[in-house]
Structure 1
Amino acid sequence: GTEPRVLITGLNLTVPKGRHVIVTGPNGCGKTSLFRVLAGLWLPVEGAVAVPAGKRMLWLPQSSYLVTGTLRDQVTYPQHYRKASREVDARVHACLEKVRLTKLCDASATEDPFGLSSYHHDWNDVLSGGEKQRVGFARLLYHSPAYAVLDEATAAINPDEESKLYEMVLENDTTVFSIAHRLELRKFHKAELHFVGDGSGSFEIRELR
């Protein structure tokens, strides 16, 4: 079999509530691999990873997972409402408004005042890369988890929009762990985990503010 690859060596990192961490480093250094380990998709060969359970944690990959279903379903995922209350729909609509996606609402739906019942088998065919990422942020604002891990979750969004999205998430009292290329995002974080990328698993941790 393939030899296990050293991703990072000797890291001991705790992320308490409010300590927003950005992960940086050159392409191919293992940033997305770290995301997969944190998400439990890959198991570490050595060491341990502990993350908050259940609804306290939300994962936002570079391309948000979209389901067959209504516009409402995209925001409330993994929850699904056969018949959503007016309160739920008002919240979903408010989140779409914040990320500037209300144009996706179906204004002609008379029994659905918020226009959230527009249905597609494959939303991936309907939305652009930036829109998919904004749906991910609407989902993040809707669920308001204690922690969120973002892997290049704003790569297809322009820097001004990106800043507004991050500001809203932080105002929502969600602690973020961001894997990012754009170093401008440092301003939203309190610490930086920098992968050196020399193949040895070495890293640096810098306090940002």
Structure 2
Amino acid sequence: MTDTATATGKSAVSGVEIVLDAVTKHYPGQPHPAVDAVSMTIPAGEIVVLVGPSGCGKTTTMRMINRLIEPTSGTVTIDGRDAATMDPDRLRRGIGYSIQQAGLFPHMTVARNIATVPGLIGWDRKRIAARTDEMLELVGLDPGTYRRRYPRQLSGGQQQRVGVARALAADPPVLLMDEPFGAVDPITRGLLQDELLRLQAELGKTIVFVTHDFNEAVKLGDRIAVLGDRSRILQYDTPAAILADPADDTVAGFVGADASLKQLTLTRIRDVELGDCPTVTENDSIGTARAVVANKDWALVLDARRRPLRWVSSEQLAHAPAVRDAGTPLGETLSMASTLQDGLEALLTDRNATGVVTGPRGEYAGLITIDTLVAHLSALRAEHGGAPATEAPA
């Protein structure tokens, strides 16, 4: 299996095409196959999400791609090569694999976990060490802080980040992800989803992602395969097409009654115009900071790397000896890969009804407000011939 790289409008594609042709898994003694003649093409460089109820066969279908489960019949083709003709160990080492609760080796440090596959395929120590640090940086973990820690010393979200780093360490063209974020809390789950989208924008892998959460599928997937019993494909299309026109009542049940609200999940914050606000840094003098907030009454405090820390008001600055001693801690921030639905949820929980947006390295990028959402929805309605969102229907 070899990587291919072609330029696209948003990123370089390093993934490869996967084709499933009538793939079936029939376990001995069972009257019906667990997976029955599944056929689908997974385009290179896209995230394809398999979504369906528990027990429908979606994980079995995914595991037949890297032959953790051997198909009873049918063909899996990866980058034009029949997976059945390849040595299974070499096949698996060329495909990243990330599972729920990370699946890290508890007796190994973070660095050794990440180095597992590069070591198996013969990389030298210097190259492995450099790649380990690169992967930790890529998933937002400081190498100096985390490389010598053990999994038990990490939070659930940090373990999942290390799991993704390990899956990507040998630079595989294909990444299989089996409900990787299902065991973490909702806030951490949203952050990990954003992180995956950021990584995909940089790396352009082919990702097959299994989940039972349709909202997660809409947020992450370039395409979604809604599966029924025995992995029968009920609909395989883009999230927008499935939300707009479910193929049958079963798919409509997955979509739910809030299809209009889910449409907000289809737009990323990077696709809308952001607002701005006054900013000061922790190193600014108290006089400079007071001058900045004089006309606005409040500002955003940034650190030396322009990462947002907290809100500060003119009243707070009036009684503080230094900028670093004033302000109200900032809650969770949004990334450019966050969706407008993420933005709406942030606005509903923020005391200022304002979401702070950060760039790739955590730097301040702008604000999202209710006005941002209204302007976007008005533009969508105008584009489709409807009345602006601020107007009442006739």
Q: TM-score, normalised by structure 2?
A: 0.43
Number of residue pairs aligned between Structure 1 and Structure 2: 194
Q: Secondary structure at the match of 1:79?
A: helix
Is 1:58 paired with 2:100? no
Separation of aligned partners in 2, 1:200 and 1:175: 20
8 Å Cα contact 2:117/2:170 also seen in 1: no
Is 1:105 paired with 2:132? no
Q: Secondary structure at the match of 1:14?
A: strand
Is 1:190 paired with 2:217? no
Is 1:93 paired with 2:133? yes
2:193 maps to which residue? 162
Percent of counterpart pairs with the same letter? 24
- Report the CA distance between 1:147 and its aligned residue: 1.1
Separation of aligned partners in 2, 1:95 and 1:142: 7
8 Å Cα contact 2:38/2:231 also seen in 1: no
Cα pair distance change 1:167/1:5, threshold 3 Å: farther
Cα pair distance change 1:160/1:200, threshold 3 Å: closer
Q: Secondary structure at the match of 2:54?
A: coil
Cα pair distance change 1:10/1:134, threshold 3 Å: same
Decide which structure has greater strand share. Answer: 2
Q: Secondary structure at the match of 1:148?
A: strand
Is 1:78 paired with 2:117? yes
Structure 1: where are the runs of 5+ without partners? Answer: 107-115
- Report the CA distance between 1:175 and its aligned residue: 1.3
1:143 maps to which residue? 170
Cα pair distance change 1:171/1:41, threshold 3 Å: same
Q: Secondary structure at the match of 1:204?
A: strand
User: Which of 29, 37, 46 is residue 73 of structure 2 equivalent to?
Assistant: 46
8 Å Cα contact 2:179/2:209 also seen in 1: yes
Opposite residue 118 of structure 2, the aligned amino acid is: Q
**What does the per-residue CA deviation read over 1:32-65, in whole Å, with 9 as the maximum and x for residues that have no partner?**
2223322312222332223464654212122334
Is 1:28 paired with 2:69? no
Separation of aligned partners in 1, 2:35 and 2:51: 13
Separation of aligned partners in 1, 2:171 and 2:31: 36
Is 1:177 paired with 2:208? yes
Cα pair distance change 1:49/1:28, threshold 3 Å: same
8 Å Cα contact 2:102/2:160 also seen in 1: yes
Q: Secondary structure at the match of 1:27?
A: coil
**What does the per-residue CA deviation read over 1:72-116, in whole Å, with 9 as the maximum and x for residues that have no partner?**
21112223399832x64344223223323338836xxxxxxxxx3
Q: Secondary structure at the match of 1:97?
A: helix
Superposed structure 1 runs of 4+ greater than 6 Å apart = none
1:112 maps to which residue? none
Opposite residue 236 of structure 2, the aligned amino acid is: I
Q: Secondary structure at the match of 1:13?
A: strand
- In angstroms, what is the RMSD of aligned CA positions? 3.1
Separation of aligned partners in 1, 2:178 and 2:45: 18
Larger CA Rg, structure 1 vs 2? 2
8 Å Cα contact 1:21/1:189 also seen in 2: yes
Q: Secondary structure at the match of 1:47?
A: strand
1:109 maps to which residue? none
Structure 2: where are the runs of 5+ without partners? Answer: 1-27, 80-90, 241-394
8 Å Cα contact 1:8/1:202 also seen in 2: no
Separation of aligned partners in 2, 1:36 and 1:91: 27
8 Å Cα contact 2:51/2:217 also seen in 1: no
8 Å Cα contact 1:193/1:206 also seen in 2: yes
User: Which of 107, 117, 133 is residue 160 of structure 2 equivalent to?
Assistant: 133
Decide which structure has greater helix share. Answer: 2
Q: Secondary structure at the match of 2:68?
A: coil
RCO higher in structure (CA 8 A, sep ≥6): 1
